[in-house]
Chains A and B, each alone.
Chain A
Amino acid sequence: MSRLPKGGLIDRSRSIPFSFDGATLTGHPGDTLASALLANDVRLVGRSFKYHRPRGILSAGSEEPNALVELGEGAARLPNTRATTQELFAGLVATSQNRWPSLKRDILAVNDLMAPFFGAGFYYKTFMWPKRFWESVYEPIIRRAAGLGRLSGLPDPDHYDKGFLHCDLLVIGAGPAGLMAALAAGRAGARVILADEAAQMGGRLLAERLELGGSAGHEWAAGVAAELASLPNVRLMPRTAVTGAYDHGAFGALERVADHLAAARGAPRQIFWRIQSRRAILAGGAIERPIAFANNDRPGIMLAGAVRRYINQYGAAPGARVAVFANSDEGARSVVDLQAAGVEVTALIDARPDAKAPDGVPHFAGALVTNTRGRLGLKSVTIRTASGGVETIAADCLAMSGGWNPNVHLTCHQNARPVWRDDIAAFVAPDGAVPGLVAAGAAAGAFSTHAALQTGLDAAKAALTDLGLKSGKTPLPKAEDAPCDLTPLWHVAGKGRAWLDFQNDVTVKDVKQAHAENFIPVEHLKRYTTLGMATDQGKLSNIAGLAIMAELTGRSIPEVGTTTYRPPYVPVQIAALGAHGEGQGFAPHRQTPSDALSRERGASWLEAGLWHRAAWYPQTGESFWRQSCEREVGWVRNAVGICDVTTLGKIDIQGPDAAAFLDFVYTNTMSTLKPNRVRYGLMLREDGTVMDDGTCARLGAAHFVITTTTAAAGPVMAHLEFVAQVLCPRLDVQMVSVTEQWAQFAIAGPKSRELLNGLLDAQVDNDSFPYMGCGPVSLGGVAARLFRISFSGEHAYELAVPARYGDSLARLLVARADALGGGLYGMEALNVLRIEKGHITHAEIDGRYSAFDISMPRMVAAGKDCIGKAMAARPGMVEPARPQLVGLKPAGVVKHLKAGAIMVEVDGAPVREQIKGHVTSACFSPTLGHPIALAYVAGGVARIGDTIRAVDLLGGVDTLCEIVALPFYDPEGGRLRG
């Protein structure tokens, strides 16, 4: 066991079981999966992407490229989970991935032998012959080999949530810098959010044996966290990674609420927060970088800072005999910590020739690691000493440190590039690149603990000043202030493959090949070799890659430049970003007033403009929707039908200039409409195309109510507001949407008046309510509105009552209609009725057709301007060859007519050049006893009586049709007026 006898911030009093690849192991609360695996002597945890090389744990953070496992089973299986950040819980089940049949014996490890042929971009140069083999042979093989973990293919069974937070100051990272900043701002009374992706606040203070103000670093951190927790104006957010820096102070953040628990018990596993901040401080620390040398990817080779974290925070030794390789004092620091923990250190290999030796360890100044041995786990390292000698050092773990890269990620999310600093041989955050965001601590290149505290405090003070708050006194605790003493070392020259990007298997050789092939710009280097495109997004590999390209091209590292930093900072589950999109959650439902009644009547549903509308109402004995639909059509044509039309947009328009306003937005004239009358109206977009149609009712001299189609209600309202506020600000007009205020029902059919008069408090007749009349009525004492309008072509009304009475009215109407031999009808019947009558819907006015095309040129009134009029007069909009709306009925053998069929001349061919139009709407007309359709036909109005074909190539139906005038039904309109 590699669990150290003492130390660490784990709870040794409790043991928790977990499993890895089927083996049951135990760990302690406070462990991550990675620390628990190390404590159980598990070294081999994964396989690399391309060569399937055996891999171990490299880091102790979210940048981990190797230790990715599948977590959980069945639908809950989560691929690519970083063992280094997954907290241990009882019953955790982890499985290694991207290997077959087992982690130890992985068949695809042969790829490693083929490596000479699998260099950078090899796939662009082959697999081209024979042509058809790509989809059938090569690609399936490549696809199966590629990829890391497996999705279950089943719906994600867990809960996720999203939320909004607001603060004066967002502090990202709770190491010494972030804690200090949050403390200063919290004490000053600012609304502070302190977020850290780790479970515990403290950052490196948890991983190092440092003292702050005389107490252990982690104790100081715990003390500050406790004070912050007590302040009502501070929100502490552990387990929360800030993922992206967006415009104007907006940040995305992922809180892992229950990922550390065996069961979430109704809580979301994760919450994706949108944080709106006035100021922000990035105190995200730094990420240690590996050194590239031959076979630097063996299990057991680990970042030195991670080794210290495993020892100091988790009491887990990554090895029994550890060698250390570094280019700074991080090496000596690691040796001291290892020794303090009682771990044998077999050598300190320090690349700096002048490095001072610590006590009690074989020391090699000016030496380099040139190779390593051990297939499934490190056995030894080979070094070249300062004098050129070669030595082999036994070690099952190598702690390596190539220096630290400030965690600049978030500061570069708005296209800025980081700035190079020679003194620390690293890129630091650029100033002002994200307005309102500044970096502090190691993220700003302030590498000592004192400097972290100081820069954190300074950043907080500056933010407080910006926020108009006074900073109080917040003294700095005393802390180490060691200078950064580092000699840059990116790779060790020599034979063998030296890894840069561990997961994507990009080696120094690949960079050299990219250079040879002239993929020299960094972005080409990245794309050609895939360097930095793995799950760590180059956090560990990019800078070394650039450094090597710099060497090859004789340029400096900043001249080579970095690739683009993009959100998210750490990968985020789609389930969290898209929380509540699943199931019914993607968009709100809208219910009509007759919803309950329709449910009782067994309606079949369809959706329009988020509304759920009844499509038809099946009755016993009906097995097919058309049977129900035709029965409902018959009711309307012969008796009376009731249909909920509440969904149509209704806009109340009032004001001295209301009529003038309507004249401008409608193609036709509304100012001449008499009170208590309704007129059909057409609106164009400014490009001359029909936007919507509806009715306009004049309720008073300066009072109108217009209707829109269901789907266009929102857009038309916005359009009218635009015209009123922006184009015609002088017009004195006001509008209010009353769609929801009024429940409205169509009462259609020859018995509609009979039905109505059985309900209204005062009778109506052809004089009080002629066709296209409207006015107030009362029923049961409730003030209502009655419109004599008809979409069906029958004598019909629409009756509106305040929505609370909608359900009651619907029931009443239906009961009366039932008694008169009619009843409820749905959208399908409505559609048949309107096609028979030649009325258009958005199937016809689909956004491409003009008033001319829908055969309503006279709807565009002369002598006044209106929206869209000028553009509708462009030559291309009026030429005779444009499609025009006509009716079709089968000529000869009665065949199916299908919407979407294309129109072709009788002797023509169904090829693009000969298409004359298409069918927009089609149905079987129960009234006429044969199929009918509406269609656009080039120059159609002049061709009434011609025959033409409607060809549905998809369904293989070719129907000879006669072009007929619209409407099909009651062309004289006698039934309307009846």
Chain B
Amino acid sequence: MRQSSLNENEALTTALPSPEMVREQKIYRTFGLTDAEYARAVELLAREPNYVETGIFSVMWSEHCSYKSSRKVLRRFPTQGPQVLQGPGENAGIVDIGDGLAVAFKIESHNHPTAIEPYQGAATGVGGIIRDVFTMGARPIALLNSLRFGELDHAHTRYLFAESVAGIGGYGNCIGIPTVGGEVVFDNRYQQNPLVNAMCVGIMTHDQIATGSASGVGNPVLIVGARTGRDGIHGATFASAEDPHAKERSAVQVGDPFMEKLLLEACLELIATGQVVGIQDMGAAGLTSSSAEMASRAGSGLTLDVALVPCRETGMNPYEIMLSESQERMLVVMRQGAEEVAKKIFEKWDLQATVIGRVTDDGMLRVLEGGVVAAEIPVSALVDEAPLLDRLALRPAYLDELREDAPVLAQPSDFVAELAELLARPTIASKQWVYDQYDSMVRTETFVRPGSDAAVVGIPGTKKAIALVTDGNGRQVYLDPYEGGLRAVAEAARNLVCSGARPLAVTDCLNYGNPEKPEVFYQFERSVDGLATACEALQTPVISGNVSLYNESNGVDIYPTPVIGMVGLIEDRERIVTSEWKMPGDEIYVVGALSHALLAGVGGSEYLALRQPDASLKYRLPTFDLEQEVRLQQYLLACAQQGLLQSAHDVSDGGLLVTFAESAITGGRGAEVQFDFAVQREGRAIESDELLSLFFGEGVSLVVITAKPESAGALSRLANEHQVALTRVGVVASTPFLRVSVDRQLYVHADIWQLQAAWRGAIASWMKH
């Protein structure tokens, strides 16, 4: 197979620096390889790597591709369960939803590109995650996005936010996959490092599952889709660079959603022929990582000739072709002799499918340029021998300085004004300005559009539907990495349950600062412990995910921000539950320990951040009761499945009053709500702290549900069975007023249309600036 020696190659092919120059001038450092890593590469090769090989090592061993900081920690996640058909390790995870059907999903970050070219950065993030899903043989049916930006009073933040949203919409709308949900949080901690995490969900039959494995000696390897240009060379390396602007050195990729739509259709048609051995999308580190990973999974080798790769630009050398991050490309291994099948299908879609190499059995990734060897590296050296770090983790001092007592906050004289102000905070306000820019309805299966606790999408040809959500709360994870981790998973699952869905599995996007700082690494480890524990308890294994580190600028790290993407199953689409209040006369209940809600305080809450911004990082997060949470969720699910719920909405950002207000606004209905603590308190009057904790605290898992009066008996029987606290607190009114009193004293008497104005218009009015 080997056609010429490496020395000849140097002379013959390119004018790239020699291996000696790479060593002597320490060129590897500019690629992001450390001295020790370079030495290790020399050892593994038993010679000095040439320029191309050095480039290949550097991207494969970058944080982005090798997960060298995080890999060990990620092993703590539970990944198994009867529903799991494909766990982590492939392009996307897959869970069974019965009837021979399965759902594939994954979430991925595109934070660094977005910081410097928000439209294209966000757009190509969406493009990448869609490829991950259709690579598995699944038809993408829904997208979600989880976003973090600085505060909107900053012009540059508004630019980043507006362009990112436009880019996400631009890609998803064009390709015809509905964007059905997500979240947006605004906090100055993200001003320099916005987070854009995109999630894609696809549907498939069990027999369509494709994987990214290059097996079968002699099988042809094809590159399909877009031509290769000099886009984003070394993007993977720079994604791990401290300063996102360092990435400017490499070109940012421009996405072509039209091309991807064709690629998607062509690939699904190709996979359906049964002639595909393996298929993998080309994301970070392009041809290099896709080929190495495919060979590694099969324990095989690959020989590729870059001269056969269709290029967009002239004069591209092997280094550039191997490292290009041009979008909308895939690597496909076909059965021998089936090349024509691929070519025919791709021709119909006006796309190229070009054989560029073969599968071998010698475990080598061999790159030729017109038959001449340009690089030759054992696949195992790139993948299995990639560095694995034991980063130092140190408990940050700030955690021990957090105060346990309640912050001193004056009791507001006007709770309605307080509530309106909270509702107008961009993090809490309606995200309609965002999701109206997304086509959330294409495919005509979106039963619950953005705006409820979770989105719900129908499964054609069945009675089933799936519920989808992303959730994360960086400030809470910062205040308590472990408990914050628990909460992130619990909240995602709770949102699914509130829509009537049984949570199935998790995909996670772990966004953190610089892992070389022991304090940041501690946050990472401890929060993963929290996430893992909650996933275990809620029986939602992690089936796919993504890690984004080095979200840091000028020495300031973002909050540790794990984002949880979760999918749940609704067996009967007639049993979907939404969050808006429905009928006057429906009874309102709070599920969960209300008595604790009085005492848990406002630590970690949006309310504290609003009232005392300086104190918002100084008070402890209330502790979280995971067992209680599990029972609460099982109870809600049982209620939903028996059709007892008219609405359900969990208490999250902003606390209980915000939850009431949102259900009132979206339902266009007021309510009469009365809490009665007098008896249990033996007449002692409620204190100001307790009132604030009840109204604005975010410490205790609570869900507000409404039900028809005749359901009362069944609801409380089930509550006894599941040992959860259920308190009837009021009724949905026929007037548009939300009235809330505690121990017979009226605190809130709000016109819901006024609340609506505050809530609905807030982001739009910022964006008019």
Are these two chains actual partners, yes or no? Answer: no
A interface residues with partner B (beta carbon < 8 Å)? none
